[in-house]
Homo-oligomer: A and B are copies of this chain.
Amino acid sequence: MNAQPQPLYEQVKAYVLGRIRSGEWSPGARVPSEHELVRELQVSRMTANRALSELMRAGVLSRVAGVGTFVADFKAAGHPLQIRNIAEEIRARGHAYRADVVTLERIVAAEETRERLALGRDEREVFHSVLVHFEADRPLQVEDRFVNPRVAPDYLNVPFARMTPYEYLMEVAPLQRVEHTVRAVLPEPRVAAFLELAATEPALLIERVTFSRGERASFALLYHPGTRFELKGGFDA
Protein backbone atom coordinates (compact mmCIF):
# COMPACT_ATOMS: atom_id res chain seq x y z
CA MET A 1 0.00 0.00 0.00
CA ASN A 2 0.93 3.64 0.18
CA ALA A 3 0.96 6.21 -2.62
CA GLN A 4 2.59 9.35 -1.33
CA PRO A 5 -0.06 12.03 -1.78
CA GLN A 6 -0.76 11.77 1.96
CA PRO A 7 0.88 9.77 4.72
CA LEU A 8 -0.94 6.53 5.31
CA TYR A 9 -2.00 7.44 8.82
CA GLU A 10 -3.57 10.63 7.44
CA GLN A 11 -5.53 8.53 4.99
CA VAL A 12 -6.75 6.37 7.84
CA LYS A 13 -7.77 9.48 9.77
CA ALA A 14 -9.65 10.76 6.73
CA TYR A 15 -11.38 7.41 6.41
CA VAL A 16 -12.60 7.54 10.00
CA LEU A 17 -13.53 11.23 9.85
CA GLY A 18 -15.49 10.61 6.67
CA ARG A 19 -17.61 7.94 8.31
CA ILE A 20 -18.26 10.25 11.26
CA ARG A 21 -19.16 13.23 9.09
CA SER A 22 -21.54 11.19 6.97
CA GLY A 23 -23.36 10.26 10.15
CA GLU A 24 -22.62 6.60 9.65
CA TRP A 25 -20.85 6.62 13.01
CA SER A 26 -22.68 8.78 15.57
CA PRO A 27 -21.37 10.09 18.89
CA GLY A 28 -20.96 7.20 21.27
CA ALA A 29 -20.76 4.65 18.47
CA ARG A 30 -17.98 2.14 18.43
CA VAL A 31 -15.17 2.68 15.96
CA PRO A 32 -13.29 -0.29 14.46
CA SER A 33 -10.53 -1.55 16.70
CA GLU A 34 -6.93 -1.27 15.63
CA HIS A 35 -6.90 -4.90 14.55
CA GLU A 36 -10.05 -4.43 12.52
CA LEU A 37 -8.55 -1.43 10.76
CA VAL A 38 -5.45 -3.48 10.04
CA ARG A 39 -7.60 -6.05 8.23
CA GLU A 40 -9.96 -3.59 6.55
CA LEU A 41 -7.40 -1.10 5.31
CA GLN A 42 -4.33 -3.29 4.92
CA VAL A 43 -2.15 -1.14 7.15
CA SER A 44 0.05 -2.09 10.05
CA ARG A 45 -1.26 -1.82 13.56
CA MET A 46 1.16 0.99 14.43
CA THR A 47 -0.28 3.05 11.61
CA ALA A 48 -3.85 2.42 12.70
CA ASN A 49 -2.76 3.24 16.25
CA ARG A 50 -1.26 6.55 15.21
CA ALA A 51 -4.37 7.56 13.29
CA LEU A 52 -6.74 6.75 16.16
CA SER A 53 -4.44 8.26 18.78
CA GLU A 54 -4.21 11.54 16.92
CA LEU A 55 -7.96 11.67 16.49
CA MET A 56 -8.28 11.10 20.21
CA ARG A 57 -5.90 13.96 20.94
CA ALA A 58 -7.96 16.11 18.60
CA GLY A 59 -11.03 15.31 20.67
CA VAL A 60 -12.81 13.42 17.92
CA LEU A 61 -12.54 9.98 19.50
CA SER A 62 -12.31 8.63 23.00
CA ARG A 63 -10.45 5.43 23.75
CA VAL A 64 -10.44 3.07 26.71
CA ALA A 65 -7.85 0.35 26.95
CA GLY A 66 -9.46 -3.03 27.14
CA VAL A 67 -12.78 -1.72 25.89
CA GLY A 68 -12.58 0.06 22.56
CA THR A 69 -12.61 3.29 20.61
CA PHE A 70 -15.69 5.46 20.35
CA VAL A 71 -16.86 8.63 18.66
CA ALA A 72 -16.53 11.32 21.32
CA ASP A 73 -19.60 13.13 22.57
CA PHE A 74 -19.39 16.66 21.46
CA LYS A 75 -19.76 18.41 24.75
CA ALA A 76 -16.12 19.33 24.43
CA ALA A 77 -16.49 22.01 21.82
CA GLY A 78 -14.31 24.92 20.97
CA HIS A 79 -10.98 25.83 19.50
CA PRO A 80 -8.49 28.62 19.58
CA LEU A 81 -9.87 32.10 19.80
CA GLN A 82 -8.36 33.00 16.50
CA ILE A 83 -10.63 30.53 14.78
CA ARG A 84 -13.06 32.66 12.89
CA ASN A 85 -15.10 30.33 10.78
CA ILE A 86 -17.69 28.38 12.69
CA ALA A 87 -18.49 26.10 9.75
CA GLU A 88 -14.93 24.95 9.33
CA GLU A 89 -14.62 24.40 13.03
CA ILE A 90 -17.68 22.20 13.20
CA ARG A 91 -16.60 20.20 10.16
CA ALA A 92 -13.15 19.79 11.63
CA ARG A 93 -14.77 18.13 14.59
CA GLY A 94 -16.35 15.68 12.22
CA HIS A 95 -19.93 16.86 12.62
CA ALA A 96 -22.59 17.95 10.20
CA TYR A 97 -22.87 21.70 9.73
CA ARG A 98 -25.94 23.67 8.74
CA ALA A 99 -27.03 27.29 8.98
CA ASP A 100 -30.45 28.91 8.98
CA VAL A 101 -30.77 32.45 7.73
CA VAL A 102 -33.19 34.20 10.03
CA THR A 103 -32.74 37.72 8.75
CA LEU A 104 -30.99 39.32 5.80
CA GLU A 105 -31.83 42.96 5.22
CA ARG A 106 -30.78 46.53 4.70
CA ILE A 107 -31.61 48.69 7.71
CA VAL A 108 -31.13 52.18 8.99
CA ALA A 109 -28.44 51.73 11.57
CA ALA A 110 -28.88 52.66 15.19
CA GLU A 111 -26.57 55.30 16.51
CA GLU A 112 -24.58 52.71 18.41
CA THR A 113 -24.09 50.53 15.35
CA ARG A 114 -22.92 53.49 13.29
CA GLU A 115 -20.39 54.27 15.94
CA ARG A 116 -19.06 50.74 16.08
CA LEU A 117 -18.58 50.74 12.34
CA ALA A 118 -17.26 54.33 12.43
CA LEU A 119 -19.69 55.40 9.73
CA GLY A 120 -20.01 59.02 8.65
CA ARG A 121 -23.09 61.13 9.32
CA ASP A 122 -24.44 60.63 5.83
CA GLU A 123 -23.97 56.86 5.90
CA ARG A 124 -27.04 55.63 7.63
CA GLU A 125 -27.78 52.29 6.05
CA VAL A 126 -26.03 49.04 6.89
CA PHE A 127 -26.61 45.39 6.07
CA HIS A 128 -27.90 43.21 8.83
CA SER A 129 -27.97 39.42 9.03
CA VAL A 130 -28.99 36.95 11.69
CA LEU A 131 -27.94 33.34 11.24
CA VAL A 132 -28.21 30.30 13.43
CA HIS A 133 -25.37 27.81 13.01
CA PHE A 134 -26.04 24.18 13.82
CA GLU A 135 -23.71 21.38 14.78
CA ALA A 136 -25.39 18.07 14.10
CA ASP A 137 -28.79 19.81 14.27
CA ARG A 138 -28.09 21.41 17.62
CA PRO A 139 -27.75 25.21 17.58
CA LEU A 140 -24.21 26.25 18.43
CA GLN A 141 -24.12 29.91 17.51
CA VAL A 142 -26.47 32.81 16.87
CA GLU A 143 -24.67 35.29 14.67
CA ASP A 144 -26.08 38.81 14.68
CA ARG A 145 -24.00 40.80 12.24
CA PHE A 146 -23.90 44.35 10.90
CA VAL A 147 -21.91 44.96 7.75
CA ASN A 148 -20.40 48.11 6.30
CA PRO A 149 -21.92 48.48 2.79
CA ARG A 150 -18.83 50.21 1.51
CA VAL A 151 -16.79 47.10 2.21
CA ALA A 152 -19.29 44.49 1.02
CA PRO A 153 -21.82 46.17 -1.28
CA ASP A 154 -23.21 42.85 -2.51
CA TYR A 155 -23.82 41.34 0.92
CA LEU A 156 -27.56 40.87 0.47
CA ASN A 157 -27.09 38.57 -2.53
CA VAL A 158 -24.68 36.13 -0.92
CA PRO A 159 -25.91 32.51 -0.82
CA PHE A 160 -25.49 31.98 2.91
CA ALA A 161 -26.78 28.47 2.60
CA ARG A 162 -23.45 27.64 0.98
CA MET A 163 -20.98 29.96 2.69
CA THR A 164 -20.79 31.73 6.00
CA PRO A 165 -20.72 35.53 6.27
CA TYR A 166 -17.20 35.16 7.50
CA GLU A 167 -16.14 33.26 4.41
CA TYR A 168 -17.76 35.81 2.14
CA LEU A 169 -16.20 38.76 3.92
CA MET A 170 -12.81 37.10 3.74
CA GLU A 171 -13.25 36.86 0.00
CA VAL A 172 -14.27 40.41 -0.74
CA ALA A 173 -12.30 42.14 1.97
CA PRO A 174 -8.95 40.87 3.22
CA LEU A 175 -9.04 40.59 6.99
CA GLN A 176 -6.65 43.00 8.54
CA ARG A 177 -7.49 43.05 12.19
CA VAL A 178 -9.93 41.56 14.66
CA GLU A 179 -11.04 42.91 18.00
CA HIS A 180 -13.21 40.95 20.33
CA THR A 181 -14.81 41.13 23.71
CA VAL A 182 -16.05 38.08 25.57
CA ARG A 183 -18.75 38.15 28.23
CA ALA A 184 -21.12 35.83 30.02
CA VAL A 185 -24.73 36.95 29.69
CA LEU A 186 -28.29 35.86 30.14
CA PRO A 187 -29.44 36.22 26.55
CA GLU A 188 -32.66 37.90 25.56
CA PRO A 189 -35.58 35.52 25.04
CA ARG A 190 -35.36 35.54 21.25
CA VAL A 191 -31.70 34.50 21.27
CA ALA A 192 -32.31 31.98 24.05
CA ALA A 193 -35.04 30.42 21.91
CA PHE A 194 -32.74 30.11 18.92
CA LEU A 195 -30.13 28.43 21.08
CA GLU A 196 -32.75 26.19 22.74
CA LEU A 197 -31.67 27.42 26.16
CA ALA A 198 -33.63 27.22 29.37
CA ALA A 199 -34.56 30.52 31.03
CA THR A 200 -31.59 30.79 33.38
CA GLU A 201 -28.99 29.19 31.16
CA PRO A 202 -26.09 31.53 30.49
CA ALA A 203 -24.65 32.26 27.08
CA LEU A 204 -21.14 33.12 26.04
CA LEU A 205 -21.22 36.32 24.03
CA ILE A 206 -18.41 37.32 21.72
CA GLU A 207 -18.52 40.79 20.26
CA ARG A 208 -16.28 41.01 17.28
CA VAL A 209 -15.22 43.89 15.09
CA THR A 210 -13.28 43.13 11.92
CA PHE A 211 -11.12 45.57 9.99
CA SER A 212 -10.28 45.54 6.32
CA ARG A 213 -8.23 48.05 4.35
CA GLY A 214 -8.17 50.33 7.33
CA GLU A 215 -11.95 50.37 7.60
CA ARG A 216 -14.31 48.71 10.00
CA ALA A 217 -15.84 46.00 7.87
CA SER A 218 -18.37 44.43 10.21
CA PHE A 219 -19.56 44.12 13.75
CA ALA A 220 -20.96 40.85 15.07
CA LEU A 221 -22.59 39.54 18.21
CA LEU A 222 -21.92 35.81 18.51
CA TYR A 223 -24.00 34.00 21.12
CA HIS A 224 -23.15 30.46 22.20
CA PRO A 225 -24.80 28.13 24.68
CA GLY A 226 -22.65 28.31 27.80
CA THR A 227 -23.14 24.65 28.51
CA ARG A 228 -22.25 23.36 25.07
CA PHE A 229 -19.57 25.74 23.92
CA GLU A 230 -16.04 26.40 24.97
CA LEU A 231 -13.57 28.85 23.64
CA LYS A 232 -10.18 27.30 23.62
CA GLY A 233 -6.93 29.05 23.06
CA GLY A 234 -3.29 28.90 23.84
CA PHE A 235 -0.04 30.53 23.05
CA ASP A 236 3.61 30.25 23.77
CA ALA A 237 5.17 32.90 25.91
Chain A residues within CB distance 8 Å of chain B: 46, 59, 74-82, 174-186, 200-205, 224, 226-227, 229-237
> Who on chain B is nearest to A226 by CB?
B184
* 8 Å CB contact of A80 from B81, B186, B205: B81
Q: For the complex formed by this chain, how many copies does it contain in all?
A: 2
Q: Cβ of B202 and Cβ of A236 under 8 Å apart?
A: no
Q: Cβ of A80 and Cβ of B175 under 8 Å apart?
A: no
Q: A201: which B residues are within 8 A, CB to CB?
A: 186
* 8 Å CB contact of A202 from B46, B77, B184: B184
Q: How many Å lie between the Cα of A207 and that of B78 in the bound state?
A: 13
* 8 Å CB contact of A235 from B79, B204, B224, B236: B79
**Given contact pairs A80-B82, A81-B80, A226-B202, A232 touches B179 in the complex (Cβ within 8 A):** yes
**Given contact pairs A202-B226, A232-B180, A237 touches B185 in the complex (Cβ within 8 A):** no
Q: How many Å lie between the Cα of A75 and that of B186 in the bound state?
A: 17
Q: Cβ of B81 and Cβ of A178 under 8 Å apart?
A: no
Q: How many Å lie between the Cα of A213 and that of B178 in the bound state?
A: 31
Q: Cβ of A237 and Cβ of B74 under 8 Å apart?
A: yes
Q: Cβ of A184 and Cβ of B184 under 8 Å apart?
A: yes
Question: Which of A77, A184, A224 has the most chain B CB atoms inside 10 A of its CB?
Answer: A184
> Who on chain B is nearest to A182 by CB?
B231
Q: Cβ of B204 and Cβ of A184 under 8 Å apart?
A: yes
> Who on chain B is nearest to A177 by CB?
B236
Sorted from nearest, which 9 A-B pairs have the closest CB atoms? A184-B226, A202-B202, A184-B184, A179-B234, A182-B231, A184-B202, A184-B204, A175-B237, A200-B200
**Given contact pairs A200-B200, A202-B202, A202-B226, A77 touches B237 in the complex (Cβ within 8 A):** yes
Q: A235: which B residues are within 8 A, CB to CB?
A: 77-82, 177-178
Q: How many Å lie between the Cα of A181 and that of B59 in the bound state?
A: 14
> Who on chain B is nearest to A170 by CB?
B237
